[in-house]
Amino acid sequence: MTRTLGVSLKMYFGYDQTLRWSRTVADLLGNHPALVAGDVRLFLLPSFPALPAVAGILRGTPITAGAQNLAAADSGAWTGEVSGVFLREAGARYVEVGHAERRTHFGETEEVVADKTAAALRAGLTPVLCLGERDRMPVAQAVTECRRQLIDALQTSRRFGLGGSLILAYEPFWAIGAAQPASDEHITGVCTALRDTVAQESAHPDSSVIYGGSAGPGLATRLGGGVDGLFLGRFAHDPEALVKVVEETAARA
């Protein structure tokens, strides 16, 4: 089974730093056997302005680029927005949808997340659909909440008969930016339930469930087959740490 690793740079890096980091990652991992063989897939999500350049840096490697957000519309009078169609032309193959920060700071509702998920699928992008509970709660309650979010996020896609692979990124709000990720038992419990749920979605075959929220080196080894991969943030700012996570993930593939 292919394992999936994603990295979102959020807004931590400037333009030049983003390109330098991407070149280093390409140099270190562009010929990694697990990536070349397809045992592990790796995607990077830079800020919008750097996307075409990063896609160019990654060209010829098994590493792919994506975006951290997209508009719900495909075109039109939406000042400051970027459509999925535009992102696809610019070199994106993945796009993050519904991150906790978008929901909290920009007021993205379940309806907006559903419309953006559909927009990504229309554009031929793989949505990296972020799901997670706001507050700490038992696994069973977290599963119920994340399943609800998943069902809500697919409503628009179902209405228009849109299909395609999904990456479900389980990121409990309370674990993002924390010193430690959620407990191993909590992560595997929720991710296993989400994997079973998305497997029942015939319109979205070959989908996977990855964990984010203070994910870093060592976690892939501890979780084993409990997740399909990791969604990394600040712990991947050091390219050597990212190499370590790739090695750990490859060992579990």
Q: Which positions are catalytic? A: 99, 171
Interatomic CA distance for residues 49 and 125, integer angstroms:
18
Interatomic CA distance for residues 40 and 178, integer angstroms:
26
Using only C-alpha atoms, what is the Rg of the chain? Answer: 17
CB distance 184 to 204 below 8 Å = no
Residue 145: count other Cβ atoms within 10 Å of its Cβ: 18
Q: Which residues of 92-101 are buried (b: 16+ CB within 10 A; e: fewer)?
A: bbbbbbbbbb
CB distance 171 to 131 below 8 Å = yes
CB distance 176 to 182 below 8 Å = no
The distance from CA 113 to its chain's CA centroid, rounded to whole angstroms, is: 14
Query: Residues near 213 by Cβ (< 8 Å), separated by ≥ 6?
Result: 132, 170, 171, 172, 175, 176, 178, 181, 182
Interatomic CA distance for residues 90 and 52, integer angstroms:
5
